[in-house]
Amino acid sequence: MTDVLTAVEINCTTGEVTERPLTAQEIADREVLAAESATREAARAAAAAALATLKASAKAKLIAGTPLTEEEAVTIVL
């Protein structure tokens, strides 16, 4: 069984509700948007992980009394 993607259109003036299947172009557009969103989310997650690693490194160096790199120093918020 194949699910049919449906668009729901509501005429705000009359309140008329119309349901129709999405066109091939609308489906393709949704797929492109979903792929772009997944790419942005992966980049965001990677940046968050890199920042967490950098902060952990800075904290460990502060505890050990070793010098921080400039990048590590920037992560410290006073």
* Both tokens assigned to 38: 């997944």
Residue 2: what pLDDT?
A: 66
Residue-by-residue pLDDT tens, the chain, 78 positions: 468 999 999 999 999 999 999 999 999 999 999 999 999 999 999 999 999 999 999 999 989 999 988 888 888 865
Residue 64: what pLDDT?
A: 93
Residue 72: what pLDDT?
A: 87
User: 72: how many CB neighbours lie within 10 A of its CB?
Assistant: 18
Question: Within its chain, how far is the Cα of 33 from the centroid?
Answer: 12
Beta bridge partners of 19: 8
Residue 3: what pLDDT?
A: 87
